[in-house]
Amino acid sequence: MSVPGPNQLWVADITYIRLTREFVYLAVVLDVFSRKVIGWALGRSLKAQLPVCALGRAIANRRPPPGVVHHSDQGVQYASREYLQKLKDHGMLPSMSRPGNPYDNATCESFLKTLKREEIYANRYRDFEDLQECVEEFIEQYYNVCRLHSALGYSSPEKFEKESQMESERASGAAIMTFLGA
């Protein structure tokens, strides 16, 4: 899927992470335009509160305009009253994958694979708090800021968004200058 700008299509998913004595869960929300992780939450329960928290962080970080399409799989958490109400309260349009079709959510699945390969499987964590610190560092300081993506012309998500915004401003400025100069 390709979209022309940020805050048009968000995707969300949940994965598990095995610690020595327990499984914990990570919910994420990505902006498909830049593949940037815009919201995430780590917890010990798969209840709806986990992805609701990730969505809340995404909304707080982006302050999206009404009309953002929010896509997820058909997990019960994403179909919960609480989750759907949060989408509705912020003017977001829910979308869910077709049964048995993981390709609809490929951008999010790709991020989760990257996270596990480059962070989770490469490290051992003392406890939940240690994992949380490491996941936060991976997402906020490495993945969003430094990690290059071939699909983004070998830019990081943040750099891609900044360059796109600057290009958009230049294009609109050029149109204004042309109009005023005529």
For 123-145, give the DSSP string.
---SSHHHHHHHHHHIIIIIITT
Q: What is the DSSP letter of 116?
A: I
Report d(CA 139, CA 43) in Å as an integer.
16
pTM: 0.90
At which residue do the structure tokens 């009309």 appear? Answer: 67
Can you name the residues that pair with 151 across neighbouring β-strands?
A: none
pLDDT of residue 102: 64
> What does the pLDDT read at residue 157?
97
Cα gap 148→136, rounded to integer Å? 18
**pLDDT of the residue at 181:** 47
pLDDT score for 177: 47
Residue with tokens 């327990």: 22
Per-residue pLDDT of the chain (182 residues; tens, 9 = 90+): 678 999 999 999 999 999 999 999 999 999 999 999 999 999 999 999 999 999 999 999 999 999 999 999 989 999 999 999 999 999 999 999 877 666 778 899 999 999 999 999 999 999 999 999 999 999 999 999 999 999 999 999 999 999 999 988 888 765 544 455 44
* C-alpha to C-alpha distance for 170 and 167, rounded to whole angstroms: 5
Ranges of each domain in the chain: 9-181
CA neighbor of 117 nearest in space, from 40, 27, 15: 15
Q: Which two tokens stand for residue 38?
A: 């815009």
Residue 146 CA to residue 123 CA, distance in Å, equals 19
pLDDT at 173: 65
CB-CB contact of 58 with 81 (8 Å): no
pLDDT at 105: 84
> Domain 9-181 has what CATH class?
alpha beta
Which residues, including other chains, have CB under 8 Å from residue 178's CB and lie 6 or more apart?
A: none
Sign of the alpha-carbon torsion through 58, 61, 63, 64: negative
Indicate the burial class of 84 (C-beta count within 10 angstroms; 0-12, 13-18, 19 or more). Answer: middle
